[in-house]
Amino acid sequence: MRRAMSALMLSIPALAVTAEPAACSARSGEQVPLVVELYTSEGCNSCPPADKWLGTLKDRRDVIALAFHVDYWDRLGWTDRFASPDWTRRQNHAASRSGASFVYTPQVLVNARDYRRWPALPAPAASTVDLSLSRDGDAYVAQLTRRGARAPAELMGYWAVTENDHRTQVRAGENAGATLQHDAVVRELQQVLLVDDQPLRFTPKSVPDAVSGPRPRRVQFVVIDARSGVPVQAVALGC
C-alpha cells in the first residue's frame, strides 16, 4: 500500500507539468452583442456619469463597450491623455449616418445610431453570421461564417483594443480636482475593408502609459454591414 501511495504522489507533479493551458478563444451566439460607443473627454464635466455607466458594461458578454476620448476639449485647460484626433474624426464621420444633427459629449452610439435613452439599452438583434476569435501567441485570429442568404452582401469590420481600470487626477478645466475612473478606453483601432470567410490576423501594439502603467486589456472584433454601418456580429477576448 505504501509503495502504491508513493507512486501516486510521484505521478502528480508530472501531470501538472504536462497539462495543457486553457485555450483563449470565444464564439458568437445566437444574438448580436450591442456595440456601445461613448464619445467622452476628461475636460467635460457632464462626462463622468457616462464614463461610470460605461464601466458597468465592460465585462458583459452581450455588450461591446468602447470609450473614444475626443480631443476638442483639450484646448479649454486640460489635456486628456487618452484623447485622439482620430476619435474626433470618427465621431464627425459617424454623425452623418448616426441620426445626430451635431456631435457632442457625452454622446452614446448604440449599433452606430445616436442613442439618448441610456442607461437603458435596447434588445439585441438575431445573428446572421457566426464569428470566432482566438489568440495565437501575440496575434489574434478572427474567422467568420455566413448564415446563408440572411447575411449582408458586403461586410466590413474593425479591431478594437481597449483598457480598463485607468484613473486620472484632473488638475485643470471643468473637472479640476476630480479623480476620474476610465474603463473600455480605446487604445487602438484597425479597420478591415473586407470581411469574408478567410481568417483575419491582428497583432496589437504596445501602448505605453506613464501614469497608469499596464492595465487589463480586451481585444474585440466587430463585423459591420458595409452599406448601413450597423454591426452584425462581434466577439471580445480578455486574454
**Would you say residue 10 has pLDDT above 90?**
no
Supply 227's cell numbers. 452599406
Q: How far apart are CA 208 and CA 78, in angstroms?
A: 20
Give the model confidence (pLDDT) of 63-97 as tens digits: 999 999 999 999 999 999 999 999 999 999 999 88
pTM of the model: 0.88
Supply 164's cell numbers. 480598463
pLDDT, position 7: 41
Quick check: 106 and 39 in contact, CB under 8 A?
Answer: yes
Supply 117's cell numbers. 435613452
Q: How far apart are CA 151 and CA 128, in angstroms?
A: 5
Give the model confidence (pLDDT) of 182-227 as tens digits: 999 999 999 999 999 999 999 999 777 767 767 889 999 999 999 9
